[in-house]
Amino acid sequence: MNILIVDDDTELCSLLQRYLERELFRVKTVHNADDGLKEALSGLYQGVILDVMLPGGSGIEILRQIRSRSEIPVIMLTAKGDEANRIEGLEIGADDYVPKPCNPRELSARLRAILRRGRSADVTAAKLEVDDLVIDFETHKVARNGEELDLTATEFNILGVLVREIGKVIDKNRLAEQSMQRSLTLFDRSLDMHLSNLRKKLGNAPDGNPRIKTIRGVGYMYMTADA
């Protein structure tokens, strides 16, 4: 698979490139905002690793422009403890984040987890119709009243886990493990942010009620209009 790294730290890029190529990825690195956006939207890559701070622009703005035109998986590299950029990136549509200084092994594991979400074989039905939604597990597309929704890979996977068990409460950690292929850590708000984005994109159910209900202290449940 072809992976794009956008980071102005050439030493880190070289380290990550060597490690990921040993993991059988094909890697290209670019070091500024303009080249990063151009390459990310070229259609040549299956995933992007994107730094927040770049010459010529911010990674957050690049992510915003990528998400306006593409659903390609994106992992953000954020400064350790920089919660504001981390949350903003997740709100815009980043699939995951890794703090810097970056552990290449962790980055590779998270990258593989995101890419697996897009081709998961754990499917019992190719297509589900839930109220006004049509969820196609072969194409990873979701349509509401015939209009396609722009969900990221992570958002699609979360929705898929929830609709497989409609009306049942899914523990927060189990939802994270099944949709993001990793456990949540202390103060990790990534799942909450993905759910917030998913709710906004789905809108309310036809009866006006929220589709995804939070069971405080336990987890989440997908509700149908006639539940």
Mark whether 110 and 156 lie in a shared domain. no
Mark whether 110 and 148 lie in a shared domain. no
Indicate which CATH number applies to the domain containing 131: 1.10.10.10
Q: What are the Cα distances from residue 122, in Å, to 118, 139, 164, 179?
A: 11, 14, 11, 11
| Residue 59: both structure tokens together | 């990674």
Distance CA 178, CA 72 (A): 20
Report the pLDDT value the prediction gives residue 114, as an integer from 0 to 100: 84
Mark whether 89 and 133 lie in a shared domain. no
Report the pLDDT value the prediction gives residue 121, as an integer from 0 to 100: 37
What type of residue sits at position 203? G
Mark whether 78 and 134 lie in a shared domain. no
SS3 89: helix
Q: Which residues contact 26 (CB under 8 A, 6 or more apart)?
A: 1, 2, 3
- Where a domain ends, among 88, 117, 146? 117
Distance CA 30, CA 222 (A): 41
Which helix (H) or strand (E) segment holds residue 148: the answer is strand 147-149
Mark whether 29 and 113 lie in a shared domain. yes
Mark whether 108 and 134 lie in a shared domain. no
Report the pLDDT value the prediction gives residue 225, as an integer from 0 to 100: 62
Distance CA 175, CA 10 (A): 36
- Where a domain ends, among 83, 117, 151? 117
| 227 lies in some domain | no
10-residue block means of pLDDT along the chain (227 residues)?
Answer: 94 94 92 95 92 93 91 88 83 90 89 72 63 88 93 90 88 88 82 93 92 91 74
Domain count, the chain: 2
Omega before 210 cis (within 30°)?
A: no
- Where a domain ends, among 86, 117, 148? 117
Distance CA 149, CA 114 (A): 19
Mark whether 109 and 148 lie in a shared domain. no
Domain that holds residue 159: 127-222
What's the whole-model pTM score? 0.63
79-117 residue pLDDT tens: 866 788 888 888 888 999 998 888 899 999 989 888 876
Sign of the CA dihedral running 165, 171, 177, 180: positive
Mark whether 105 and 161 lie in a shared domain. no
| 159 lies in some domain | yes
| 146 lies in some domain | yes
| 162 lies in some domain | yes
| 122 lies in some domain | no
